[in-house]
Amino acid sequence: MLKTIRIAICVCCLVTLAIAQGAAKWTITQGILTPESAYVDPVSGFLFISSVEGQPNEKDGKGHITKATTDGKVVAASWVSGLNAPKGLRSFKGTLWTADIDEVIGIDIASGKITSREARRRPVPE
C-alpha cells in the first residue's frame, strides 16, 4: 500500500512538473472523441482514457476505453468497447475499474476482458 501511495505521489509530481514547464509535449487524438477521464496505471504503466461518445446518461453502447503509452502512442483506440458512458478510472490489483451509468465494471488490465459488472443496488422501499 505504501509503495502504491509513493508511486501515485511521484506520478502527480511529474504531471505537475510537466504542466509547470509549459505546453504539452504530445497529444492523442486517435480514438478520442469525447474523453471523460484519463488514468495512468502505476503497475502496468499504461494510460487509460474513458470516452463517453453518446449521451452521458444513455445506455447506448457507444462508450469505450483507449489504451495508450505515457509518451502518447495509442496501443488500442477501442481497447474495451460496448460501454455506455464510462466515467472515472482507477486500478486495483490488476483490474481497471470504471463507473458506467448504473454499474461498476472491472476490466482485467492484462487481457482487456471485462471480468466484473456490478449493478447499482437500489434501496428497497419500506
Q: What is the predicted pLDDT for the residue at 32?
A: 80
- Structural domain including 93 reads 28-119
- Domain assignment of residue 4, yes or no: no
CA neighbor of 91 nearest in space, from 15, 7, 13: 7
Domain CATH code at residue 96:
2.40.10.480
- Full-model pTM: 0.75
59 in a structural domain? yes
Domain presence at residue 7 = no
Among 4-8, 35-39, 72-76, where is mean pLDDT lowest? 4-8
The answer as to whether 63 is a domain residue is yes
What span, in angstroms and rounded, lies between the C-alpha atoms of 91 and 97?
Answer: 6
13 pLDDT above the threshold of 60: no
Q: Indicate the pLDDT class of residue 17, thresholds 50, 70 and 90.
A: low
Q: How many independent structural domains does the chain possess?
A: 1
In a domain, 49, yes or no: yes
Q: Is residue 86 part of a domain?
A: yes
